[in-house]
Structure formats: structure tokens, C-alpha cells
Amino acid sequence: MIKQIIHTDKAPKAVGPYSQAVKADSTLYVSGQIPINPETGKFVEGGIKEQTEQVMKNISAILNEAGYSFSDVVKSTCLLSDMANFAEMNEVYGKYYPENQPARAAFAVKGLPLGALVEIETIAVK
């Protein structure tokens, strides 16, 4: 197995002892992304829609750095601080997967890093 650590300055730095993504052979594991703007190092302004949009931009930057795209994504896990935000998160998320959507799970959790409303992790395969 060939293991490669993926890093880009176009996505937020890890806030703990983990990598933005790890490529193992042809599979890319993208760590959970929260709505931090990599240019400012701060959360984006707004609610769940704005936070989900930033999360998806962060995922896109990591996918691109590794040579992948949203069409290569096979599985996503969406973590929400409140399931009441599911519909709005889903609306933004769906723009990135207009067809051949990946498998997905969505959970409401007690808390997310730094008080985020949403965190999404992604697995892509080529």
C-alpha cells in the first residue's frame, strides 16, 4: 500500500493531530471539514447555508490538491449540531452532487469542533 499525506493552503489547517486528507492507493480519505475560511482562519459569517458552503469549498480544495473531484466521491458523512438544519444543509450539499450522488450518512451530534453547525468528511476513489 502506498500512503500519501495531502495538504493544501486552500483549506483550513488541521486543528489537531490529523491530516487534511490521506491517500491510500487509489482511495482518498478527507478529514471532517468545518466552516473555517482558510484565508482568515475564522468561521464564515452566517448560518447553516453559509457554513455548509464553506465546508464544501474546503472539501473541493482538498480533493483538487489530490487530483480528485466531487465526481470521485463515494461516501460522505455529515455531522450536524442540530437536525433542524438538515434541509438547508442538504440544499447546499446537493449543488455539489447534481448526479451520481455518493452514499451518505447524516447525524445530529452533541457538539462539533469550535462550535461549528456542520462538519462533513468524505471518501473518494479513482
How far apart CA 40 and CA 23 sit, in angstroms, is 27
Domains with residue ranges and CATH for the chain: 3-125 (3.30.1330.40)
- pLDDT tier for residue 114 given thresholds of 50, 70 and 90: confident
pLDDT higher than threshold 80 for residue 57: yes
Measuring CA to CA, which residue among 96, 102, 124, 117 is closest to residue 34? 117
Give the single-character DSSP code of 44: P
What is the rounded CA–CA span in Å between residue 126 and residue 27?
Answer: 7
**pLDDT of 15 higher than 80:** no
Q: Residue 122: its pLDDT value, please?
A: 98
Tell me, what's the pLDDT at 113? 87
